Amino acid sequence: MIKRQEKSVIPLVNPEEEAFFAGPQSRIKDLKFSLKVLIEFVRGFRTLHFVGPCITVFGSARFEEHDDFYQMGVTVGERISKLGFTVMTGGGPGIMEAANRGAKNAGGKSVGCNIVLPFEQFPNTYLDRYMDFKYFFVRKVLLSKYSYGFVVLPGGFGTLDEFFEALTLIQTEVMKRFPVVLMGTQFHRHIYQHILYMAEVGTISKEDIDLFLLTDDVDEMEQHLRKYAIEGFGLKRREQPVPSPLLGERS
């Protein structure tokens, strides 16, 4: 079961969105916006520089601890940690919390890229390190920058957006062919059928269906990550790089 979201009264449009809808802004305003984005990128790079290599886990913020998919998320986090990866998530509750919790259960590292929203999203308590992001597109870059694979559990619009963006970047060879695992065959059955239909009518290639693994089996997920992330990229365990105090970096 998914917990029901509390209704909240929030502004339909914030001041920045109103300015955007008003049309082209002054060059000074565009420059200020660009600087805000740059600062958020730099903060993200500094915060997450020593966290990798990671596997990023995507999933709904709305599942509670007693839900089966939450428990699957915990197991996924444990297995990823035992493979030697840092578990990276969106940093919020639900399945994100579950995967971070699994990492901590296994004695692994757990990090999050949390998006600041007027409702629902807040950092979970199982994070070794996290950063709050204002801009979705900056957050999405950081969620993939340090990762050698992606595990997608059941979720909503945001989770599907992250799933299809990873596939798009791999399909177009903008990103290397990192393994993508879609967990939950029953939950995702209609999406999978639509993907098959897209291949049938030619909007994607039939080979694109092989860009991800659909499964319910955590053992199969682990084997897939081992084969295509660890063995595929020749990853080996090594000593953690030492932060530089001169650059203001902390261990």
pLDDT tens per residue across span 119-139:
656 889 999 999 999 999 999
Q: Are 127 and 91 in contact (CB under 8 A)?
A: yes
The candidate with the shortest Cα–Cα distance to 166, out of 117, 202, 213, 200, is 213
Q: Identify the pLDDT of residue 238.
A: 67
- pTM for the whole thing? 0.86
Specify the CATH architecture of the domain 37-231. 3-Layer(aba) Sandwich (3.40)
Q: Decide if pLDDT at 108 tops 80.
A: yes
Q: Which amino acid is at 11?
A: P
Residue whose tokens read 């390190």: 129
Q: Are 63 and 4 in contact (CB under 8 A)?
A: no
Which phi and psi (to 5°) does residue 170 adopt?
-75, -45
Q: Identify the pLDDT of residue 4.
A: 47
pLDDT in tens, 40-99: 999 999 999 888 899 999 999 999 999 999 999 999 999 999 999 999 999 999 999 999
Q: How confident is the model at residue 22 (pLDDT cuts 50, 70, 90)?
A: low
Residue range 157-176: mean pLDDT, rounded: 96
The candidate with the shortest Cα–Cα distance to 225, out of 171, 151, 167, 169, is 151
Q: Identify the pLDDT of residue 176.
A: 95
Q: Are 112 and 89 in contact (CB under 8 A)?
A: yes
* Residues across the chain: 251
Domain range annotation of the chain: 37-231
Residue range 14-37: mean pLDDT, rounded: 78
Which phi and psi (to 5°) does residue 214 adopt?
-100, 125
Beta bridge partners of 111: 88, 129
Q: Which amino acid is at 132?
A: D
Q: Decide if pLDDT at 24 tops 60.
A: yes
Q: What is the C-alpha separation between 251 and 245, in angstroms, rounded?
A: 9
Strands of the sheet containing 110-115, edge to edge, are 129-133, 110-115, 86-89, 54-58, 147-152, 180-183, 213-215
3-state secondary structure of 143: helix
Q: What is the C-alpha separation between 95 and 58, in angstroms, rounded?
A: 8
Q: Identify the pLDDT of residue 115.
A: 87
Q: Decide if pLDDT at 10 tops 50.
A: no
